[in-house]
Structure 1
Amino acid sequence: MKKVAALLALPALAHGSMAGAEDGTFTLGEITVTATRVAEDVLTDAIVDRKEIWSFNRSTLDEAVKLVAGVTSTFDSNGRRNEHDILVRGYGRWQVPLSIDGIRVYLPADNRLDFSRFLTDDLAQIQIQKGYASVIDGPGGLGGAINLVTRKPTEKFEGEVQAGLFGADSDDQGWLAAARVGTRQHKFYAQASGSYLDRDHWSVSDDFQPTAIEDGGERNGSDNRDWRVNAKVGFTPNETDEYSLSYTSQSGSKGAPLNVFNNPPNPPNSYWRWPWWDIENLYWLSNTQLGSNAYLKTRLFYNTFDNALYAYDNATYATQSANGRFRSIYDDTGYGGSIEAGMSLTDRDTLRAVVHYRRDKHTERNYNRPTHPTLSSVEPLQETLEDTWSVALENTFKATAAIDVVLGISYDKNDLKRAQEYNTTQALFGYPTGGSDAVNAQGAVHWRYADGARLYGSISSRTRFPTIFERYSTRFGTAVPNPDLESERGTNYEIGWEAALGERSSLSAAIFYNDVADMIQTVVVSAGPPQLTQAQNVGDGEYYGIELSGDAHVLPQLRVGGNYTYLERRIVDPLQPNFRPTGTPSNQAFLFLAYQPWESFTITPSVEIADDRWSDVTGGGYIEVGSYTLANLQFQYAAEHWEVAVGGRNLADENYQLAYGYPEQGRTWFAKFKAFF
Structure 2
Amino acid sequence: MQVAKGYASVLDGPGAMGGAINLVTSKPGEPLEARAGGTLNLGRKAEYAGYNVYGVLGTKQDLWYAQASFTRNFQDHWDLPGGYAPTEGSAEDGGHRDFSRTRDWRVNAKIGFTPNAADEYSLSYTRQEGAKNAPLHVTDGASSQRNWTWPYWNIDSLYFLSKTALGDRATLRTKVYRNSFDNLLSAYDDATQTTRVKGRSFDSWYADTAWGGSARLDLDVTDADALSLAAHYRRDKHVEWQKSFATGVTEPHQTSEEDTYSLAAENRLSLAPKLDLTTGVSFDWRDLRKAQDYSSGAYIDYALSNGSAFNAQGQLTWTPDAATSAHASVSSRTRFPTLSERFSTSFGGAVSNPKLKAERATNYEIGASHRFGPVEASGAVFYAHLTNVIVAFPMTYQGTSVTQSRNLGHGDYYGAELALDAQVASWLSLGGNYTWTQRDLDDPTDSAFEPTGVPTHKAFVWADLAPLAKLHVLPNMDIASNRWTVTTDGALYYRTGSYALANLTARYELREGTSFSLGARNLFDDYYVLTDGFPASGRSFFVSFQAAY
Give the TM-score category using the shorter length. Answer: over 0.9
Mean Cα deviation higher: 247-256 or 404-413: 247-256
Equivalent residue letter for 1:130: K
- State whether residues 163 and 174 of structure 2, in contact with CA within 8 Å, keep that contact through their aligned partners in structure 1: yes
- State whether residues 157 and 182 of structure 1, in contact with CA within 8 Å, keep that contact through their aligned partners in structure 2: yes
Equivalent residue letter for 1:449: P
Match of 1:275? 151
User: Displacement, 1:127?
Assistant: 1.2
Match of 2:542? 670
Equivalent residue letter for 1:479: A
**Cα displacement string for residues 599-636 of structure 1 (whole angstroms, at most 9, x for unaligned residues):** 11000100000011111202222121110010000000
Equivalent residue letter for 2:343: Y
User: Displacement, 1:450?
Assistant: 2.0
- State whether residues 442 and 459 of structure 1, in contact with CA within 8 Å, keep that contact through their aligned partners in structure 2: yes
1:450 and 2:321 are equivalent in the alignment: yes
- State whether residues 214 and 220 of structure 1, in contact with CA within 8 Å, keep that contact through their aligned partners in structure 2: yes
- The within-5 A match list for 1:294-305 is 294-305=170-181
- State whether residues 189 and 200 of structure 2, in contact with CA within 8 Å, keep that contact through their aligned partners in structure 1: no
**Cα displacement string for residues 268-319 of structure 1 (whole angstroms, at most 9, x for unaligned residues):** 5x10001111111100011111111110000000111101100001111122
Equivalent residue letter for 1:190: A
Task: Give 3-state SS (helix, strand or coil) of 1:476's partner.
Answer: helix
Q: Which of 207, 218, 223 is the aligned partner of 2:96? A: 218
Task: Give 3-state SS (helix, strand or coil) of 1:155's partner.
Answer: coil
Equivalent residue letter for 2:152: W
In the alignment, the residues of structure 1 paired with residue 141 and residue 492 of structure 2 have an alpha-carbon distance, to the nearest angstrom, of: 18
Match of 1:199? 75
In the alignment, the residues of structure 1 paired with residue 303 and residue 397 of structure 2 have an alpha-carbon distance, to the nearest angstrom, of: 26
Mean Cα deviation higher: 175-184 or 245-254: 245-254
Mean Cα deviation higher: 406-415 or 251-260: 251-260
In the alignment, the residues of structure 2 paired with residue 324 and residue 529 of structure 1 have an alpha-carbon distance, to the nearest angstrom, of: 20
Match of 1:487? 358
- State whether residues 258 and 265 of structure 1, in contact with CA within 8 Å, keep that contact through their aligned partners in structure 2: no
In the alignment, the residues of structure 1 paired with residue 488 and residue 323 of structure 2 have an alpha-carbon distance, to the nearest angstrom, of: 51
Task: Give 3-state SS (helix, strand or coil) of 1:282's partner.
Answer: strand
**Cα displacement string for residues 450-501 of structure 1 (whole angstroms, at most 9, x for unaligned residues):** 2221110001100011111111111111112111111100000000001234
1:586 and 2:461 are equivalent in the alignment: no
Match of 2:210? 334
- State whether residues 46 and 540 of structure 2, in contact with CA within 8 Å, keep that contact through their aligned partners in structure 1: no
From the two aligned structures, give the one with the greater strand fraction.
Answer: 2
- State whether residues 516 and 540 of structure 1, in contact with CA within 8 Å, keep that contact through their aligned partners in structure 2: yes
1:433 and 2:304 are equivalent in the alignment: yes
Q: Which of 134, 137, 146 is the aligned partner of 1:259? A: 137
Equivalent residue letter for 1:398: S
Q: Which of 619, 623, 641 is the aligned partner of 2:494? A: 623
In the alignment, the residues of structure 2 paired with residue 148 and residue 346 of structure 1 have an alpha-carbon distance, to the nearest angstrom, of: 31
Task: Give 3-state SS (helix, strand or coil) of 1:302's partner.
Answer: strand
Equivalent residue letter for 1:233: I
User: Displacement, 1:394?
Assistant: 0.2
Equivalent residue letter for 1:129: A
Aligned pair count reads 544
Match of 1:517? 387
User: Displacement, 1:263?
Assistant: 2.3
In the alignment, the residues of structure 2 paired with residue 218 and residue 143 of structure 1 have an alpha-carbon distance, to the nearest angstrom, of: 37
Mean Cα deviation higher: 489-498 or 209-218: 209-218
User: Displacement, 1:367?
Assistant: 1.3
1:468 and 2:332 are equivalent in the alignment: no
In the alignment, the residues of structure 1 paired with residue 375 and residue 188 of structure 2 have an alpha-carbon distance, to the nearest angstrom, of: 54
In the alignment, the residues of structure 2 paired with residue 540 and residue 467 of structure 1 have an alpha-carbon distance, to the nearest angstrom, of: 19
> CA distance change for structure 1 residues 234 and 171 in 2, over 3 Å: closer, same or farther?
same
In the alignment, the residues of structure 2 paired with residue 289 and residue 501 of structure 1 have an alpha-carbon distance, to the nearest angstrom, of: 40
1:390 and 2:262 are equivalent in the alignment: yes
Q: Which of 177, 182, 186 is the aligned partner of 1:310? A: 186
In the alignment, the residues of structure 1 paired with residue 259 and residue 184 of structure 2 have an alpha-carbon distance, to the nearest angstrom, of: 24
Task: Give 3-state SS (helix, strand or coil) of 2:306's partner.
Answer: strand
Match of 2:251? 379
- State whether residues 208 and 239 of structure 2, in contact with CA within 8 Å, keep that contact through their aligned partners in structure 1: yes
1:608 and 2:478 are equivalent in the alignment: yes
Unaligned runs of 5+ in 1: 1-125
In the alignment, the residues of structure 2 paired with residue 650 and residue 324 of structure 1 have an alpha-carbon distance, to the nearest angstrom, of: 37
User: Displacement, 1:401?
Assistant: 1.0
In the alignment, the residues of structure 1 paired with residue 438 and residue 129 of structure 2 have an alpha-carbon distance, to the nearest angstrom, of: 36
In the alignment, the residues of structure 2 paired with residue 231 and residue 354 of structure 1 have an alpha-carbon distance, to the nearest angstrom, of: 27
Equivalent residue letter for 1:433: L
Match of 2:27? 152
User: Displacement, 1:238?
Assistant: 0.8
In the superposition, the TM-score normalised over structure 2's length comes to 0.97
User: Displacement, 1:244?
Assistant: 0.4
- State whether residues 201 and 222 of structure 1, in contact with CA within 8 Å, keep that contact through their aligned partners in structure 2: yes
In the alignment, the residues of structure 1 paired with residue 506 and residue 143 of structure 2 have an alpha-carbon distance, to the nearest angstrom, of: 42
Match of 2:234? 358
Q: Which of 90, 110, 122 is the aligned partner of 1:244? A: 122
Equivalent residue letter for 2:282: S
Structure of larger gyration radius:
2
Match of 2:281? 409
- State whether residues 505 and 552 of structure 1, in contact with CA within 8 Å, keep that contact through their aligned partners in structure 2: yes
Mean Cα deviation higher: 187-196 or 581-590: 187-196
Match of 1:18? none
Match of 2:37? 162
> CA distance change for structure 1 residues 645 and 528 in 2, over 3 Å: closer, same or farther?
farther
Unaligned runs of 5+ in 2: none
In the alignment, the residues of structure 2 paired with residue 252 and residue 529 of structure 1 have an alpha-carbon distance, to the nearest angstrom, of: 40
Runs (4 or more) in structure 1 with deviation over 4 Å come to 527-530
**Cα displacement string for residues 428-450 of structure 1 (whole angstroms, at most 9, x for unaligned residues):** 12011121000000000000022
Match of 1:130? 5
1:636 and 2:507 are equivalent in the alignment: yes
Match of 2:161? 285
- State whether residues 386 and 414 of structure 1, in contact with CA within 8 Å, keep that contact through their aligned partners in structure 2: yes
In the alignment, the residues of structure 2 paired with residue 195 and residue 530 of structure 1 have an alpha-carbon distance, to the nearest angstrom, of: 47
In the alignment, the residues of structure 2 paired with residue 507 and residue 226 of structure 1 have an alpha-carbon distance, to the nearest angstrom, of: 39
- State whether residues 195 and 227 of structure 1, in contact with CA within 8 Å, keep that contact through their aligned partners in structure 2: yes
- The within-5 A match list for 1:67-216 is 126-168=1-43, 169-211=45-87, 212-216=90-94
In the alignment, the residues of structure 2 paired with residue 451 and residue 570 of structure 1 have an alpha-carbon distance, to the nearest angstrom, of: 38
Equivalent residue letter for 2:256: T
**Cα displacement string for residues 99-149 of structure 1 (whole angstroms, at most 9, x for unaligned residues):** xxxxxxxxxxxxxxxxxxxxxxxxxxx211100010000001101111221
Q: CA RMSD in A?
A: 1.3
User: Displacement, 1:150?
Assistant: 1.3
User: Displacement, 1:641?
Assistant: 3.9
In the alignment, the residues of structure 1 paired with residue 430 and residue 344 of structure 2 have an alpha-carbon distance, to the nearest angstrom, of: 49
- State whether residues 259 and 265 of structure 1, in contact with CA within 8 Å, keep that contact through their aligned partners in structure 2: no
Equivalent residue letter for 2:301: G
- State whether residues 596 and 603 of structure 1, in contact with CA within 8 Å, keep that contact through their aligned partners in structure 2: yes
Task: Give 3-state SS (helix, strand or coil) of 1:469's partner.
Answer: helix
In the alignment, the residues of structure 2 paired with residue 183 and residue 340 of structure 1 have an alpha-carbon distance, to the nearest angstrom, of: 28
Mean Cα deviation higher: 330-339 or 530-539: 530-539
Identity %: 44
User: Displacement, 1:530?
Assistant: 4.2
In the alignment, the residues of structure 1 paired with residue 398 and residue 83 of structure 2 have an alpha-carbon distance, to the nearest angstrom, of: 40
1:598 and 2:476 are equivalent in the alignment: no
In the alignment, the residues of structure 2 paired with residue 251 and residue 590 of structure 1 have an alpha-carbon distance, to the nearest angstrom, of: 33
Higher relative contact order (CA 8 A, sep 6+): 1
